[in-house]
Homo-oligomer: A and B are copies of this chain.
Amino acid sequence: MKIGIDAISYYVPNHYLPIEALAEARNIEYAKLNKGLGLTSMSFPDIDEDAASMGANAVLDLFQRETLNPSDVGRIYLGTESALDSAKPTATYILDLVEKELATDFGPRSLKNVDAVDMTFACIGAVDALENACLYLKQNPDKKAIIVASDLAKYHLGSTGEYTQGAGAVALLISKNPAIISLGSEIGVATKGERDFFKPRRTHTKSSVLMQAAELLGIQLNEEEAKNKLRDAKGFWGGNTMIRSYVEEPVFDGQYSNTAYVGRIKEALEDFQSKVNLNPALDWDRVVMHLPYAFQGRRMLVNFYLDWMKRDGRWDEVVEAVGCEQPKDKEGSKNWVKTFSKSDYYKAYVNKALAPAERASGLIGNMYTASIFMGLLSTLCDAAEKGKDIEGTCIGFMGYGSGSKAKVFQGHVQNGWSKVAHLNLFDRLDQRTPVDFSTYENWHNECLTIPILPKKNAFVLEGLRTVENQEFFRDYKRQ
C-alpha cells in the first residue's frame, strides 16, 4: 500500500521586505545576499499573524481545495518552534478556528474525534509529525492525516541571521494512494545534544532588572535597596524573585550550527543507506532539504556530492570537470573543491536537483519547520510551470533541526502531482505587497499599532484577553 502526500497547501503573509532594502540599510552588498545566498525577498508576519493563524489558514485551504470530509481526518499534528503557549498546543487554536469555519457545511464539532498535538524539535518537528502520520496511516488506511508546519524566523536586528528571516505555514494531507508523493517507509535518523540554536527562557532577578530601571531613571539603587522596594510589590513586579523573559530571537552560533547540520545529515544518511541501497547523486532526481537560506543546500552538498560520486565510481567525471586531480594538501584540496563547486558540471547538478526548491526559499526566507515542505512545493510548482513531466522521479528529503537531529528519507512523484499548479505559488508570491524598511523595523521592534495590511481575507489574531482566569488567552477571527 502506497502512503504519502496527497495534497499541499500553504500560507505566506501577503507583504514582504525586499532584501535589497535590507542590504542597503545594513550596508551589505546586495549581490552578496542575492547572488551569494539566493535571497530576493523576506516574509515576516503582520502584527495580527502568528503560528496559529498562519497554520489555520494553510489547513483551511487544504480542507477547501480538497473538499475534505472532516470525518475522514484522524489527525492534525503541528510541527513548530513558534508555539504560543507552554501547555495548550498551538494545534488546538488551529483546530478550533478551522472547525468553526467548517460548521456551515458540516455542523459544529466536525473535528471532534481528530487527534491534535504540537511536536517540537526546532526545524524538524514537522518531519517528525509526517513520519508519525505515515505510521498512523499504515494502521488506519481509510483515514487521512494532516500535518502542519508553521513558524516565524526572527533574529536580532543587525545580526547575521537577520537577512535569513522568513515566515509562513505549509499543510500536507497524508493518505493512502497519494496523488503527489509516495513516501518510502525507511527513514535514516541521527541525534546529538547540541547548543547550536535554541530559544531559552531568559532568567533575571527582579532586583537586577529594577536596578537597571533605576539607572535609566537616574537613581542610585543597590541590590539590598532594590530587594526592599520589591518586598510588597504587585503586578509585574510582584510574586517571585525572578523574571523569565522570552524573546522570539534565538541564541545561536551560525558556524557551529552549520557544522552540526552537516554532521547529523552525514550520520542520518549513513543510517538511511544501511537500510536502503542507493547513491543519492544517481538515484535522487531532486533533493529537498531544510533551507535556512536558499543556497544552504548547494553550498553544503558539494562535499557530500563529491563523496557520492567517488562511491559510485564516477570520480573521473569530477576530475574532468575541475580539470585536474584533487591535491593532497589541505589548502589545495579546499581550493579544488571550490573550483568544482563553480564548475558547469556541479552547476548542472544544482540546477536539476536543488534549484527548484530554492526558488520559493529565496522569495520567502527561512520558514523553520515549513522550509523543507515549501521546498517540496517549490520543486513541484517549478516543474509544473516549466511543463516538465516528473511523474516517477525520486525525491530525496533531508530534514534538520538544531539541538540537533537529522532525518533522511525518499519518495516518488505520483501521477497527480501537477495539481499543485492550481496553487499558483510563484504568481501569488509575485503579487505580494512590498513594505519599506522603516515599516519592517517598526514591526521588528514591535512598535506597529495597526496591521500592515488591514484586510487579509484570512484568520487573524484579534487580541489577548484581560479578564481574570483568561489573561493572555488568544482570540482570532476570520477577516
Contact = CB atoms under 8 A, between A and B. Distances in A.
Given A200-B85, A213-B213, A250-B87, A120 B118 contact: yes
Given A86-B82, A99-B193, A217 B204 contact: no
A189 B194 CA distance: 35
A472 B136 CA distance: 37
User: Of A99, A235, A236, which is in contact with the most chain B CB atoms at under 10 Å from its CB?
Assistant: A236
A205 to B, nearest CB: 9
A388 interface: no
B122 A88 contact: yes
Given A235-B212, A239-B247, A251-B469, A267 B112 contact: yes
Contacts of A216: 210, 229-230, 233, 237
Interface residues of A, number: 102
Given A213-B210, A244-B245, A191 B112 contact: yes
Given A118-B120, A121-B118, A209 B191 contact: no
A233 B209 CA distance: 12
Given A136-B135, A469-B251, A86 B230 contact: no
B243 A245 contact: yes
Contacts of A112: 190-192, 267
A81 B92 contact: no
B113 A189 contact: yes
A214 B217 contact: yes
Nearest to A98: B193
Contacts of A136: 132, 135
A364 interface: no
B200 A472 contact: yes
Interface string A95-122: 1110100000000010111111111111
A330 to B, nearest CB: 26
Nearest to A193: B96
Contacts of A195: 88, 470, 473
A3 to B, nearest CB: 11
Given A121-B116, A132-B132, A200-B472, A245 B247 contact: no
A245 B252 contact: no
Contacts of A256: 469
Given A117-B119, A117-B405, 6 more contacts: A86-B120, A86-B199, A116-B405, A135-B136, A203-B472, A239-B445
24 contacts: A83-B120, A85-B200, A87-B122, A87-B250, A87-B402, A88-B195, A89-B120, A89-B122, A95-B193, A97-B193, A112-B192, A116-B405, A135-B136, A138-B138, A200-B474, A201-B472, A212-B235, A212-B236, A213-B213, A217-B217, A240-B444, A244-B245, A244-B247, A256-B469
